[in-house]
Structure 1
Amino acid sequence: MRALAPLISVLLLAVACTGSDRDDGFDGTVRLGAALSETGGFAAEGEDSRQGYDTWVRWVNEEYGGIRIGDARYRAEIVYYDDESNPDRAAELVQQLIDDDDVDFLLGPYSSGLTRAASAVAEANGVIMVEGNGAADTLFDRGFRNLFLVATIATDYTRSGIEALAAQGAQTAIIVHEDTPFATSVAGGARHHLEANDVEVLALEAYPEGVADVSDLVARLGEFDPDVFVGGGHYNDAVLFLRSAQELGIRTDAMLITVGPSNPQLVDDLGVSVNGVLGPTQWEPAMAYEGSYFGSAADYADYYESLWGERPVYQAASSTAAALALHLAIEAAGSLEFDDVREALQELDVETFYGPIRFDDRGVNVAKPMGTVQVQDGQIVVVAPTAAATGELVYPAR
């Protein structure tokens, strides 16, 4: 049955995106491929990412009129496989997308670990991959020519939040992070930004990937009693940290956790214990970003909600932006040739609903700053940077 999955995905998307009639005036098809987590530890984020990609597919086919290459218009399709949240499986499936499914380009998986594995295969085969959810700095230290990231790099995830907390008087912090490329990059960046803002780092500790109990780590908060706790990981880690803190009755003046606070699901899962918690965000519907494609951030959020019945989290918006960047590069190149599209990506400079996109020589979007949100009375409020803020930072939060 696994071999049938990509074919089923393509057929379902073709029907969803172009109606029941295949003779719809398109001159051909641009086929993209993505290994995404439908199962395993990243299943929640994988679903958000897939909905983000599918939002672009629906929009480009139904609203925009297809990818325009010269005078021709091409239908967009995406072939998906479940990478099972496993890097080895992701690498295997990307090779399958290239060899068996004959995709034109690749979109990235969720997480830096999976992106590392998948992009290595893409690079070895000379196939372009554009992604929005693998932000570890080490991904872009390998000299790859075919990997492009629309999101803000991991070392800057906590910058605006730390600057805001320091301005409010925070003086000490501890950092606890998952021992993965993304979380390690976030932690290294957090340490740099804390020290740059004269906040003393009392401890920096890593824990193994996939742990189910962090109570011992959280208990150490009581020993250090820092002003700020920085937690680096993914959604499941945020749930573990906050549940353990609640059970142990421990709360710092500020908790800044990399993934989770920007997702409304966290409030649904944990209730009032989330109030006051801070988190970085690549994007929020309230941000004042706007472009010629999808309109404003709020317009994009409304369109996304019309398709999926829920507001988009930033992982979804990052995925849509990745697909959009590739789409715009194809149109600028007027070609599906890798060299032409790669050059167009390197020259891309565009304002979008997601923010500005402009890649440096590494393939990193250096134009977009990172935002910070805080959960206030169950609502997600942008509190930093000042230019993007929709509310005031509450500090201390305990």
Structure 2
Amino acid sequence: MTSLRVGACLSLTGPYARFGVQAAVGLDAWRRLDGGAEVLLEDDGGDRARVPAALRTLAGRCDLLLGPYSTGLTRTAVAVIGESAGLLWNHGGAGDDVQAAAPGHVVSVLTPASRYAEPFLHVLAHRDAPRPLCIVTGVGSFARQVGAGARFRAGELGIEVLEEPHGREWDLLCAGSFEEDVAAVTRARGEERPPRMICAVAAGVREFGDVVAAPEGVHGVAQWFPGRAAAVDLGPTEADLLDACAALTGGTPDYPGVQAAAAAALAVHCARAGGGVDRETLWAVAAALDCATLFGRFRIDPVTGLQTGHDTVLVRWTADGLGR
């Protein structure tokens, strides 16, 4: 197969630029390692109204399509792709409803939002004396789905969930936009009786430590963290991608960059293994996969495309920075 053109709709500007730029770096690093693919980008500006045109532009120029970052933007992208003969590789929309919205048209690599908080809840459940948990969610659908999934799983694990701590010892889970999580954590730590343990989705990226004073002790949820991956079945190794990213930026990427690279690696693998880039061929190969990439395990529901194999990672801030 000749060189493949991979197109990605990303927020290179706008409210999600901190994540879209990381995804762009991850794709550039992956392209350099793959050697047999081109990457074309369209900036959606973090604006849902710009996503359809960006996707259609890419569809006319590319063999494989990667969606945007954020559940909201991805929802728009899925609506567009569901009305076409195309297939979208979803690396940026964790919402359960989004992942399953267009069966046969969307392949997702992310742990769904409803399972996001599971590693933190397992830590809470296995303590000698579990404390009540307060769950604070933002206004978006991603946040609501994380919260709903956490409440359901907490009930299964025997963790009491409260709306307010009412003077009791308590723990806190925050799920919202980056800004919403930062505000919720800051507010909770200023309480007369602050939570004993805090976990925030936003704390899973390094920028959290730039905007929250003394983040030590705060847990985060990440789709990926360095050192997790072992052997890979397809695509670059974690070490190779990290080296390539370091050559581009001088630093280590957060999970938005790695999940985009993994989606691209999976997309080109399916095209090459199937010998074509039509939707039916790509879907058939992807639906049959149960494999490891640098991002972790990949396995989808063969009917809906919902990611079932990948798990999130619990991370924690220390005096040395973000770690596991």
Q: TM-score, normalised by structure 1?
A: 0.75
Tell me the residue number matched to 1:235: 178
Q: For residues 86 and 102 of structure 2, what CA distance do their matches in structure 1 show?
A: 15
The answer to whether residue 223 in structure 2 is matched with residue 262 in structure 1 is no
Determine helix, strand or coil for the equivalent of 1:185: helix
Determine helix, strand or coil for the equivalent of 2:203: coil
Tell me the residue number matched to 2:65: 106
Tell me the residue number matched to 1:277: 218
The one-letter code matched in structure 1 to 2:295 is Y
Determine helix, strand or coil for the equivalent of 2:259: helix
Determine helix, strand or coil for the equivalent of 1:121: helix
Pick aligned residue for 1:83 from 24, 41, 44: 44
The one-letter code matched in structure 1 to 2:138 is E
Query: Residue deviations 1:270-291, cap 9 Å, x none?
Result: 241x111111111111214321
Q: For residues 378 and 107 of structure 1, what CA distance do their matches in structure 2 show?
A: 35
Q: For residues 193 and 103 of structure 1, what CA distance do their matches in structure 2 show?
A: 41
Q: For residues 107 and 289 of structure 2, what CA distance do their matches in structure 1 show?
A: 11
Q: For residues 302 and 285 of structure 1, what CA distance do their matches in structure 2 show?
A: 12
The one-letter code matched in structure 2 to 1:381 is G
Aligned length: 322
Tell which has more relative contact order, 1 or 2 (C-alpha 8 A, sep 6+): 2
Determine helix, strand or coil for the equivalent of 2:285: helix
8 Å CA contact retained: 2:51, 2:76 = yes
Tell me the residue number matched to 1:348: 289
Query: Residue deviations 1:41-80, cap 9 Å, x none?
Result: 211011111112222212112xxxx1xxxxxxxxx22222
Q: How does 1:71-150 map to 2 (within 5 A)?
A: 76-98=37-59, 101-150=60-109
Determine helix, strand or coil for the equivalent of 1:171: coil
Shift of 1:246: 4.6
Q: How does 1:1-398 map to 2 (within 5 A)?
A: 28-61=2-35, 66=36, 76-98=37-59, 101-168=60-127, 169-203=129-163, 223=166, 225=168, 227-246=170-189, 251-258=194-201, 260-272=202-214, 274-293=215-234, 296-360=237-301, 361-382=303-324
8 Å CA contact retained: 1:202, 1:224 = no
Shift of 1:313: 0.6
8 Å CA contact retained: 2:235, 2:265 = no
Q: For residues 55 and 81 of structure 1, what CA distance do their matches in structure 2 show?
A: 17
8 Å CA contact retained: 1:277, 1:374 = yes
Q: For residues 238 and 42 of structure 2, what CA distance do their matches in structure 1 show?
A: 29
Query: Residue deviations 1:251-270, cap 9 Å, x none?
Result: 31111111x22222221332
Between the aligned residues of both structures, percent identity stands at 26
Q: 1:224 to 1:342 in 2, by over 3 A?
A: farther
Determine helix, strand or coil for the equivalent of 1:145: coil
Q: 1:294 to 1:94 in 2, by over 3 A?
A: closer
Q: 1:340 to 1:141 in 2, by over 3 A?
A: closer
Q: For residues 122 and 187 of structure 1, what CA distance do their matches in structure 2 show?
A: 28
Determine helix, strand or coil for the equivalent of 1:39: coil
The one-letter code matched in structure 1 to 2:255 is Y
Determine helix, strand or coil for the equivalent of 1:356: strand
Q: After superposing the two structures, state which structure 1 stretch, 297-306 or 44-53, moved more.
A: 297-306
8 Å CA contact retained: 1:174, 1:226 = no
Determine helix, strand or coil for the equivalent of 2:123: helix
Q: TM-score, normalised by structure 2?
A: 0.92
Q: For residues 319 and 128 of structure 1, what CA distance do their matches in structure 2 show?
A: 16
What is the alpha-carbon root mean square deviation over aligned residues? Answer: 2.1
Q: For residues 364 and 150 of structure 1, what CA distance do their matches in structure 2 show?
A: 8
8 Å CA contact retained: 2:93, 2:99 = no
Q: For residues 267 and 180 of structure 1, what CA distance do their matches in structure 2 show?
A: 23
Q: For residues 254 and 31 of structure 2, what CA distance do their matches in structure 1 show?
A: 18
The one-letter code matched in structure 1 to 2:307 is N
Structure 1 alignment gaps of length 5 or more: 1-26, 67-75, 204-219, 383-398
8 Å CA contact retained: 2:25, 2:248 = no
The one-letter code matched in structure 1 to 2:7 is G
8 Å CA contact retained: 2:298, 2:307 = yes
Determine helix, strand or coil for the equivalent of 2:317: strand
Q: Quick check: which has more Rg, 1 or 2?
A: 1
